[in-house]
Structure 1
Amino acid sequence: MKTVQEAFRSVDENLLINGYYLVEYPEKLDDFDDNVTIKEAKEYTQYQLHQYLHRLKNLPIEQSDSNGIFYMYRVMKDGMGDFTDGLTFVEDLKKDGVEAGNYAYDFTPQAEVLGWHIADNEITQKHLYDLLTEIMFELSIFGYDQEKMEAENNKLSEAIENLDKAKVSEHVDLSDFFEDEVAQDEQEDQLEHAAIIAAGEYSEYSRRKELTQIMQGLGIQTK
């Protein structure tokens, strides 16, 4: 398996930026001053993204005890089959098998994530550009250099601490949020419930299937 950094180095940079990233996450023209033209905004965004990718391709890897593996699997989206990305860890696969969970990584240093790996699974490789697009986005949530990550991490810790101290109501009445909705009949309720269950089973089956392939490739006995 290639590392995340090796995967970034192996793909077509222009295709990744223009064919995938800016399609999924287009320029936000409201972020620019009124005197900046659309052409200038697009050129600046292109420059920033190329600089960002240059950073990801060349940043020294920070070794860690965790061995993350990114992969893609199938989900239902808007009533149709689609794909999403997942992150698991070798340690969890050894311990929990296909029960291993998915993880967020937006608070993880770029230098550590770049040393993790990309699964060789067929679906993952077929949708490699989609996966790298999501990794690019997640690793830039707090800035292209993650310069805002420490401050945001402190805010999160403070919010959690305040939440622990706060008195939270044991009962939350959600009826006010749906008072304008037209009630479904019993059959609609049943069909909606069945659709939700089916969508969850579909994605969970695919996730487990992909994890099984990863484990087989690593020589980890499947449970």
Structure 2
Amino acid sequence: AELLRTAGGHLGRYVESFEVAGGSELWLVFRDEGASLHSLMYEAAGGPREGGLKVLQPSRWWLAMRRRHDGHETVLDLVRQTLLALAAVHARNVTHRDVKPENLLAVFHPCGAPTYRQCAHLRLIDFGSALDHHSAYHHYGDVGPSAAEQTVEYAPPEAVFGSLWPGRPVAKRTTPYDVWSAGVVWAEMVLGTPHVFQVGGRTRALLDARLGLAKRGLGAEERRRLFLLRGMMELCIYPPLPAPR
């Protein structure tokens, strides 16, 4: 709470907290900081629907932004503000660990000529996965904190694949973790898809056949990580091998 009270203008603003259900639940109250970057970038195909399956596509906001001659300035400004938010967090030796469009809220306001130009004020929210430097190095040992609270698509390779090398220490979740995630968000804003490292259906079918994934009985999460690894490799990104003890 102290971090969110004092860390500057690019973090979600904490208001108060209170307990309910006889003290068994703690509720935190924050200010309304606008719409998430995810909701700005994507919309349901065919318009909003209540219930049922929704197929997301790039939103009219994203398409208009990318078609404008100065649209790249909007992207760069959002990235700049994301980095300012992370700088405020990292200055207090805290790693957010879940930087993604859903956790970046933006409010738009007019900012001069041309008249259509809208400037955003961005804030980083949701510190449920955050970790301070002392805890990362002294409370978790070589295993590190649980990966259950991270979003795989935005996590760095060493965090996603580090557990594949038994007996070697997992890379600590420190500030470079957030910088990687910010880079993925940047790529997503440029590409207009949350599947920055996605491989096509043909590649997935070939991997299934050649590696015998079905015969090995790999679960959905393991297959997801394997396809993510292949997507990274197509961009010449390879998970670093942890250093030996």
> Comparing both structures, which one devotes a greater share of its residues to helix?
1
TM-score normalized by structure 2?
Answer: 0.24
Higher relative contact order (CA 8 A, sep 6+): 1
Q: Determine which structure has more spread, i.e. the larger CA radius of gyration.
A: 1
TM-score normalized by structure 1?
Answer: 0.26
